[in-house]
Amino acid sequence: MNVQETGVATLASEIFGSLTFTGDAMRRHLPSDVYDKLQQTVRLGQPVDASIAPLVASAMKAWALEHGATHYTHWFQPLTGHTAEKHDAFLSPSDGGAVEQFSADQLIQGEPDASSFPSGGIRETFEARGYTAWDATSPAFIFKTPDSATLCIPTAFVSWTGEALDKKTPLLRSIEAVSKQALRILRVFGTDAGVSHVKTTIGSEQEYFLIDRRFFERREDLRLCGRTLFGAAAPKGHQLEDHYFGAIAERVMAFMTETERRLFELGVPAKTRHNEVAPSQYELAPVFEDANVATDHQMITMQILRTVAEHHGFVCLLHEKPFAGINGSGKHNNWSLATDTGVNLLDPREETHTNMQFLVFLMAVVRAVDLHGDLLRASIASPGNDHRLGANEAPPAIMSVYLGEMLSDILAQLAQGGPHSTKKGGQLHLGAHTLPHLPRHSGDRNRTSPFAFTGNKFEFRAVGSSDSIAWPNTVLNTIAAESLDYMATELERRSGKKPTPAKLEAVVKALLKEVVKQHRRVVFDGDNYRAEWHKEAERRGLPNLPTTPDAIPRLGTKAAQALFDKYAVLNPRELEARVEVSFERYNRTLGIEARTLASMLKREVLPAGLRFQTELGAAVSASEGVGVPCPDVKAQLRHVVAGLAQLRQAIAAVEAAERHAAGDAAEQSKHVRDKLVPAMAAARAVSDELEQFIPDDLWPLPRYSEMLFVK
């Protein structure tokens, strides 16, 4: 029901989770002992008790049928980076009639015909079996369209041999790895009472563009690649900063409202909406949740954004760089650790300097980013993100940590053997007596940092807008687990059994002092966009991996394999598969872009230019035929002819570079980066130049000034 029908809006809280099998729905449909057992799994992360599956399946079916569901599907996240689903009807013929059926087996395990998903060589087609396995920790949900309803069961996707073929399985393993190591730290500090596990919490802010569907339909690059491959800049970009946080246009608001309603029904806690920096760019942020559920919800969010946009005559572009020359889109991945009893372990309490445990967790993360910044960089590498990172609109490809003045000061004191004082966040005077004095967040704002501490969480800002957050968080969790392991091992070894508080404090201070000294180089509070920082980072020995082909190989090293293997997140073969898939994705994406570019330039831009050339030629003949010389028109004609000749050459260069296919995927990616990408940029430059003087009635494509400014 909407506002028009009733005069009042439905309360979000009334519809929240109405299409998910959680809380009320579960309690209504499940015997209480079964409900309790399932909660053990959901809340405490214990393995699901197989004996309850038949009752859960029948309860889920009953609930789904109430909502009109006709089909169910195991919903999973293969290495394509998208979600996958294959629907089966509940319908089962019986005695000449039919019944709705859904068994425990159908809930627990599925076998999609999975031979066509990328596996990076894990699953050869002769052993093409892949299994989906029920993830009881993420709620089942019903996906509705105007005339269908499908029960979606979140699942992991693994091979016949038990190897992870998806993004969820390693994420779940990494969550466990962090929990195990974090608990050891809590034990050292004696703060583990009642804590059975430590959760990874994630809140992921999504940026996106909305453009009118009519424009989308008329541009093959948007349809096939999700971004414009060429297009002259509009006279206006975001110079006036009039879009950011501006009033939301009505049609956009209608889209946002429907999106949020759909998300609420699916239990996704959408919280914040606003206009972003670039024209036609927006953001949606949820309330943070457990990493696994947050990741599923993020995938659902992207799907709902795309679907609902269509209802409003828009297309939602999730690509990292749909338009050159204006800001692209990212996904700010807010990340923290919390006990299952609700304590945020990255939240400093009162006197920060006495909060030894907080500092241990904080420094463990700093250490992780220093030691494994290259893996973090590799975790977000994609052709789309290559356009953003380092383009002075997004954090650079150099991974550094922003801590803010107060914490950096504490670090300096730690290096000296302190700390003795905490710089108080203090009061922020707003210069007007009518405004309240706000306590200043000690983690100040620094939008240029790729990895910023923002008061009680880290914000990994370099994640691409179209990417699944599963992989970056898997890598982040794994490197954090390694560091927490190191800290725990050192603390346990140095403090011995039952240390006195004084002893423990001395041990912690000594360890922190060492870690600060060794890893402080990764902390940078200044402007990450400045060229000086890039030089400084090089001096500090921080890796700068500007492109995907630079970054991906870091995940293929023996050291990386040992790390992922040690924490049981991915075995070497599973990790190698991800490296392979990343290279393939890079090469294939750019291959598609190159062919689309060449084809559009040949079929649309060249003919338009030729028509203009003909018009100018006709104008010259007509003019000179009546004895009026027209040197300017002639000059223009020559300019057009020369431009078109350049364009033909540039297209040929793109096509030649695209055809090259020697070497393995890694070698090809270097060719793509060094030859194909520059050839595409050169062709684009020629076309963008032509676009600026080809008349509107001959230019066949929507221009930037239309796509970005028509709402």
CB 521 within 8 A of CB 403: no
Among 135, 166, 176, 205, binds ligand ADP (CB under 6 A): 205
Q: Closest distance between Mg ion and the C-beta of residue 203, in Å?
A: 8
Q: Which does 485 bind (CB under 5 to 8 A by kind): Mg ion, ligand ADP, none?
A: none
Query: Is residue 173 within the footprint of ligand ADP (CB under 6 A)?
Result: no
Q: Which of residues 275 and 613 has its CB atom nearest to ligand ADP in the complex?
A: 275
Q: Which of residues 138 and 201 has its CB atom nearest to ligand ADP in the complex?
A: 201
Query: Is residue 477 within the footprint of ligand ADP (CB under 6 A)?
Result: no
Q: Closest distance between Mg ion and the C-beta of residue 449, in Å?
A: 11
State the number of binding residues for Mg ion (CB under 5 A): 1
Q: Quote the tokens at residue 590.
A: 């750019």
Q: Quote the tokens at residue 127.
A: 């052993």
Residue nearest to ligand ADP according to CB distances in the complex: 203
Distance between CA atoms of 59 and 102, rounded to whole angstroms?
Answer: 10
Residue 253, phi-psi category: left (phi > 0), alpha (psi -120 to 50), beta (remainder): alpha
Q: Closest distance between ligand ADP and the C-beta of residue 278, in Å?
A: 17
Phi, psi of 37 (to 5 degrees): -65, -40
Q: Which does 286 bind (CB under 5 to 8 A by kind): Mg ion, ligand ADP, none?
A: ligand ADP
Distance between CA atoms of 44 and 347, rounded to whole angstroms?
Answer: 22
Q: Quote the tokens at residue 33.
A: 């002992």
Q: Which of residues 73 and 295 has its CB atom nearest to ligand ADP in the complex?
A: 295
Coil, helix or strand for 634?
A: helix
Q: Which of residues 446 and 548 has its CB atom nearest to ligand ADP in the complex?
A: 446
CB 644 within 8 A of CB 612: no
Which range of residues in 22-30, 95-103, 332-340, 391-399 is near ligand ADP by CB under 6 A?
Answer: 332-340
Which range of residues in 196-204, 233-241, 321-329, 591-599 is near ligand ADP by CB under 6 A?
Answer: 196-204
Among 139, 286, 396, 643, binds ligand ADP (CB under 6 A): 286
Which range of residues in 89-97, 328-336, 496-504, 564-572 is near Mg ion by CB under 5 A?
Answer: 328-336
Between the alpha carbon of residue 247 and those of residues 244, 252, 346, 392, 631, the distances in Å are: 9, 10, 35, 26, 50
Residues 6+ apart with CB under 8 A from 232: 688, 689, 691, 692, 703, 704
The enclosing H or E element of 275 equals: strand 270-275
Query: Is residue 201 within the footprint of ligand ADP (CB under 6 A)?
Result: yes
Q: Which of residues 134 and 335 has its CB atom nearest to ligand ADP in the complex?
A: 335
Query: Is residue 331 within the footprint of Mg ion (CB under 5 A)?
Result: no
Side chain identity at residue 382, one-letter code: S
Among 81, 170, 203, 322, binds ligand ADP (CB under 6 A): 203
Among 9, 287, 438, 685, binds ligand ADP (CB under 6 A): 287
Q: Which does 456 bind (CB under 5 to 8 A by kind): Mg ion, ligand ADP, none?
A: ligand ADP
Query: Is residue 202 within the footprint of ligand ADP (CB under 6 A)?
Result: yes
Q: Which does 201 bind (CB under 5 to 8 A by kind): ligand ADP, Mg ion, none?
A: ligand ADP
Q: Which does 73 bind (CB under 5 to 8 A by kind): ligand ADP, Mg ion, none?
A: none
Residue with tokens 């990616």: 669
Residues in the chain: 711
Distance between CA atoms of 368 and 361, rounded to whole angstroms?
Answer: 11
3-state secondary structure 188-242: HHCCCCCCCCEEEEEEEEEEEEEEEHHHHHCCHHHHHHCCCCCCCCCCCCCCCCC
Torsion of CA 535, 540, 541, 547, to 10 degrees: -40
CB 320 within 8 A of CB 286: no
Three-point CA angle 693, 699, 704, nearest 5°: 85
According to CB under 6 A, which residues from 446 to 475 bind ligand ADP? Answer: 454, 456-457
Residues 6+ apart with CB under 8 A from 484: 178, 181, 182, 184, 185, 361, 364
Which range of residues in 102-110, 333-341, 354-362, 644-652 is near ligand ADP by CB under 6 A?
Answer: 333-341
Query: Is residue 332 within the footprint of Mg ion (CB under 5 A)?
Result: yes
Q: Quote the tokens at residue 359.
A: 């500092």
> Which residues are 157's β-sheet partners?
132
Q: Which does 203 bind (CB under 5 to 8 A by kind): ligand ADP, Mg ion, none?
A: ligand ADP
Q: Closest distance between ligand ADP and the C-beta of residue 272, in Å?
A: 7
Q: Which of residues 318 and 324 has its CB atom nearest to Mg ion in the complex?
A: 318
Which range of residues in 228-236, 329-337, 370-378, 518-526 is near ligand ADP by CB under 6 A?
Answer: 329-337
Which range of residues in 15-23, 234-242, 325-333, 359-367 is near Mg ion by CB under 5 A?
Answer: 325-333
Residues 6+ apart with CB under 8 A from 66: none
Q: Which of residues 106 and 344 has its CB atom nearest to ligand ADP in the complex?
A: 344
Strand bridging mode 401-402 / 91-94: unpaired
Query: Is residue 404 within the footprint of ligand ADP (CB under 6 A)?
Result: no
Q: Which of residues 38 and 268 has its CB atom nearest to ligand ADP in the complex?
A: 268
Q: Which of residues 335 and 567 has its CB atom nearest to ligand ADP in the complex?
A: 335
Crossing angle for the helix pair 291-311 and 250-265, to the nearest 10 degrees = 140
Q: Closest distance between ligand ADP and the C-beta of residue 445, in Å?
A: 8
Residues 6+ apart with CB under 8 A from 246: 275
Q: Closest distance between ligand ADP and the C-beta of residue 440, in Å?
A: 14
DSSP, residue by residue, 323-360 = STTS---EEEEEEEEEETTS-BTT---SSGGG-HHHHH
Which range of residues in 7-15, 71-79, 84-92, 202-210 is near ligand ADP by CB under 6 A?
Answer: 202-210
Query: Is residue 238 within the footprint of Mg ion (CB under 5 A)?
Result: no
Q: Which does 279 bind (CB under 5 to 8 A by kind): ligand ADP, Mg ion, none?
A: none
The enclosing H or E element of 289 equals: strand 289-290
Q: Which does 288 bind (CB under 5 to 8 A by kind): Mg ion, ligand ADP, none?
A: ligand ADP
Q: Closest distance between ligand ADP and the C-beta of residue 448, in Å?
A: 14
Among 132, 334, 352, 357, binds ligand ADP (CB under 6 A): 334
**Helices of type H across 45-125:** 53-66, 104-108
Q: Quote the tokens at residue 443.
A: 């983690």
Distance between CA atoms of 233 and 303, rounded to whole angstroms?
Answer: 29
Query: Is residue 336 within the footprint of ligand ADP (CB under 6 A)?
Result: yes
Q: Closest distance between ligand ADP and the C-beta of residue 408, in Å?
A: 20
Q: Closest distance between ligand ADP and the C-beta of residue 437, in Å?
A: 19
Contact footprint for Mg ion (CB under 5 A): 332
Q: Contact positions toward ligand ADP, by CB under 6 A? A: 201-203, 205, 285-288, 334-336, 344, 454, 456-457
